[in-house]
Structure 1
Amino acid sequence: MKGRAANHHHGRANRAAGFTLLEVLGALALLALLLVGVYGGVRSAIHGVRSGSAAIARVDQIGSAQRFLRGELAQALAQPIAHTDNGRPIYFAGSAHEMRYVAPLPGYLGKLGPQLQVLKLVDDGKGGQRLELQLALLPPDGQPPKPLGEPQVLLDHIKDGGFSYRGRDAQNRELPWGADWADGSRLPQLVRIRLQPHGGYGWPELDVPLRVDPAAAVGRVGLLPGSMLSPGGVR
């Protein structure tokens, strides 16, 4: 009897010291739920960081494109990009989705001298547009411009956009805003770049003054009348 009581007491002690299968499974289930919650939180945090980084990168891209366009257009030069059939020089060509002009590039990129810059809104194949810049050297012997590499994307994921121009005609009459600049022997006084990026990012309407007027003087660079947007100039 004494031995049987001792064995019974030893069995109860073993059960008290261990866990049943149901207890182990329950603990594992709780641990799995805890790990799922932690993983979900970490994944949400990573997604938030990535979204924030992407938004910052997008804002930086838009700002860089605006600064580049404003700086380059403001430095447009009175240098011919082509000639008409009767030999008349063409200094600027502009339409609703493309413009051509000559300007010096900033920094080390400008060591090659003034270059033909072609800004173009092209279809991106995804239901939107992208703004591309193509650079080309202007040979001194009057040969056609030589492209420098592939076009560079200044801004992508654009829902809609266009260019418009304003200035004066050969009789110094003020012209209204238009989607085409017909008189290539003159530079427009103002270029407007309107873009609507995808994702709700803002693009303030960008009006850039061009300071140079090739018709203002012979053999030298002149300033456009009202180019500093004085009260009597174009607004």
Structure 2
Amino acid sequence: MKHEHGFTLIEVLAAIVLLSLILLGVYSGIHSATRIVHGGEERIGRMDEVRSTAQFVQREVAQALALPFAVTDDGDGIVFDGQPDSARFVAPLPGYLGRTGAQIMTLQLVRDNNSNRLQVTFSPLPPDGSPPAPPGDPEILLAGVNSGTFAYQGYDDQGNPGPWVDRWPDGRRLPAMIALRMKLAGSVNSPEIIAPLRIDPTSVNGRNPLGNLPRRPSVLR
């Protein structure tokens, strides 16, 4: 008689183990590929957020107007307030943002849990010179900022660019340029955002809105 032999238990177990290892390798490869794709998408999305933030800051700072939104103790108009963590000025906004006319804009770095966020608030500039209304709810431009600071540059008496300072010394005049330096959480690096003003920092449409100020570049003292 011919005897038919099947697989032994050890052979079956060895085949199951081998198949499990193959399936585990395939799953690990698919999981790694998926993680890489998702990580790439998150990185691209983060870079788009940084790029959009830079474009917004540069566009709005470039349109800053030398219009006073407050007064000093001496009665001089304040057209710019530059601090290490915030910058306040007046600028027009595009219509698609749902706001029209000159707006008091405040860019500010605010602590948010374990990091910071860059946000902006708006308040319409009253045309009759009355006190402005409190700003509306903040709009977040960029979250996940480990650290950041604003810096400002003006001109010296000879019209040459002065040093960068972390506080703007003369609120009666606009700076020539604003810089925003940030360190972001994660692997995306934030370039230094440099935003120059397009107009003469002491005039608007060829005239000085503050009669007691000379028409010349701002001076750092």
The structure that is helix-richer by fraction is: 1
CA distance in 1, matches of 2:133, 2:154: 27
CA distance in 1, matches of 2:53, 2:141: 6
The 1:201–1:65 alpha-carbon spacing in structure 2 relative to 1, beyond 3 Å, is same
Question: Deviation digits for residues 114-148 of structure 1, max 9, x if unmatched?
Answer: 2111111122331x332221222233452333322
2:28 to 40, 54, 72: 40
1:158 to 129, 145, 151: 145
**Residue equivalent to 1:88:** 76
5 Å-filtered alignment, 1:1-235, equals: 9=2, 12-13=3-4, 16=5, 18-109=6-97, 111-126=99-114, 128-141=115-128, 142-149=130-137, 151-168=138-155, 175-213=162-200, 215-216=202-203, 217-218=207-208
- Whether the 8 Å CA contact 1:104–1:110 is kept in 2: the answer is no
- Counterpart of 1:165, as a letter, is Y
The structural deviation recorded for 1:226 is 7.3
CA distance in 2, matches of 1:51, 1:214: 43
CA distance in 1, matches of 2:57, 2:89: 12
Question: Deviation digits for residues 153-192 of structure 1, max 9, x if unmatched?
Answer: 22222233211112247x7876432111121111111112
- Whether the 8 Å CA contact 1:78–1:212 is kept in 2: the answer is no
Secondary structure of the residue aligned to 2:65 is: coil
- Counterpart of 1:38, as a letter, is V
CA distance in 2, matches of 1:49, 1:202: 19
- Counterpart of 2:125, as a letter, is L
The 1:69–1:36 alpha-carbon spacing in structure 2 relative to 1, beyond 3 Å, is same
The structural deviation recorded for 1:200 is 4.6
Secondary structure of the residue aligned to 1:100 is: strand
The structural deviation recorded for 1:112 is 2.6
Backbone CA RMSD of aligned residues? 2.7
The 1:200–1:22 alpha-carbon spacing in structure 2 relative to 1, beyond 3 Å, is closer
Q: Flag the structure with larger Rg.
A: 1
Q: Runs of 4+ in structure 1 displaced over 6 angstroms? A: none
- Counterpart of 2:175, as a letter, is P
- Whether the 8 Å CA contact 2:152–2:179 is kept in 1: the answer is yes
Question: Deviation digits for residues 15-55 of structure 1, max 9, x if unmatched?
Answer: x3x43333322222222111111111111011110111111
Structure 1-normalised TM-score?
A: 0.77
- Whether the 8 Å CA contact 2:175–2:201 is kept in 1: the answer is no
Secondary structure of the residue aligned to 1:145 is: coil
Which structure's relative contact order is higher, taking Cα pairs within 8 Å and 6+ residues apart?
Answer: 2
- Counterpart of 2:196, as a letter, is P
The 1:105–1:194 alpha-carbon spacing in structure 2 relative to 1, beyond 3 Å, is same
- Whether the 8 Å CA contact 1:186–1:213 is kept in 2: the answer is no
- Counterpart of 1:183, as a letter, is D
Secondary structure of the residue aligned to 2:145 is: strand
User: Which consecutive unaligned segments of at least 5 residues does structure 2 have?
Assistant: none
- Counterpart of 1:36, as a letter, is L
The 1:185–1:110 alpha-carbon spacing in structure 2 relative to 1, beyond 3 Å, is farther
Question: Deviation digits for residues 75-106 of structure 1, max 9, x if unmatched?
Answer: 11222221223432211100111110111223
- Identical columns (%): 43
